[in-house]
Amino acid sequence: TERSAADYLVREGIDIERVHFVGNVMIDTLHYNLSRAQPIGDTLAEYGIDPRIADDPAGFALVTLHRPSNVDDPDILEGIVGCLGQISCELPLIFPIHPRTRARLEDFGLMERMASNRIMCTPPMGYLQLLGVMKESRVVLTDSGGIQEETTALGIPCVTLRENTERPITVTEGGNVLVGHDPRRIMAAVGEAISRRRGEPRRPEYWDGKASQRIATILRDWLPS
């Protein structure tokens, strides 16, 4: 999916002659589905949220959160919830809540702190729903690996609530910033993202929606006729 990945494969003992750089098939899926994404207004209305939020010039932030390292520790989760409350003073938040996260919010008595007309909590969204929301967002806060890739391809600033990532190219060539769960780092990264104008995507090499075509060509040449 990225040139640096070949180094790791070599360290695992894979012959470099057997490695082919083709791009990222997940981005193929993204490009294929962009035109099929559910309009954000339809999704918001479905969950009883005023669709006009999508028309606010200030924009909105999308939040996804599910990793045990973020949601299973009450102190860490409380710190993140506090950040969401502060961020919501600047931008409204759309927060599709993962079942694990909802359970921990309830267990730790934090769910009531999410009761704000600036933090719009919904059940988990389907892929086409979430894609329709994500592509219109001003900034995304997440601990999801896939969303780091999708925001990079879409040119959307991403604040990742992790200390590391399996997708380093999203940091070196995209708009992804790793902040862990430190509230100060979270707030600083979100503030910087809000202050930046959204530009054209800095698309990594071969993240063009044609990875599957390259794979098919390689397989066709490799298979016996």
CATH number at residue 176: 3.40.50.2000
Decide if 31 is inside a domain. Answer: no
Residue 12 has pLDDT above 70, yes or no: yes
Rounded to an integer, what distance in angstroms lies between the CA atom of residue 74 and that of residue 110?
9
- Which residue numbers are catalytic? 66
Q: What is the pLDDT of residues 154-166, one digit of tens each?
A: 999 999 999 999 9
- Overall average pLDDT of the 68-79 stretch: 97
- Buried b / exposed e along 5-38 (16+ C-beta atoms within 10 A): eeeeeeeeeeeeeeeeebbbebbbbbeeeeeebb
Please count the structural domains in the chain. Answer: 1
Rounded to an integer, what distance in angstroms lies between the CA atom of residue 218 and that of residue 127?
30
Residue 35 has pLDDT above 90, yes or no: yes
How does residue 58 score in pLDDT terms, banded at 50, 70 and 90?
A: confident
Decide if 93 is inside a domain. Answer: yes
Decide if 223 is inside a domain. Answer: no
Decide if 26 is inside a domain. Answer: no
Q: Is this prediction's pTM over 0.85?
A: yes
Residue 195 has pLDDT above 90, yes or no: no
Which structure tokens are listed for 182? Answer: 């430190």
Rounded to an integer, what distance in angstroms lies between the CA atom of residue 43 and that of residue 113?
24
CA angle 176/182/188 to nearest 5° reads 55
Residue 2 has pLDDT above 70, yes or no: yes
Q: Which residues contact 51 (CB under 8 A, 6 or more apart)?
A: 40, 41, 42, 44, 45
- Overall average pLDDT of the 8-20 stretch: 95
Rounded to an integer, what distance in angstroms lies between the CA atom of residue 135 and that of residue 25?
18
Decide if 115 is inside a domain. Answer: yes
- 3-state class (DSSP) for residue 112: helix
pLDDT of residue 55: 86
Tell me which residue range forms the domain holding 83.
Answer: 38-206
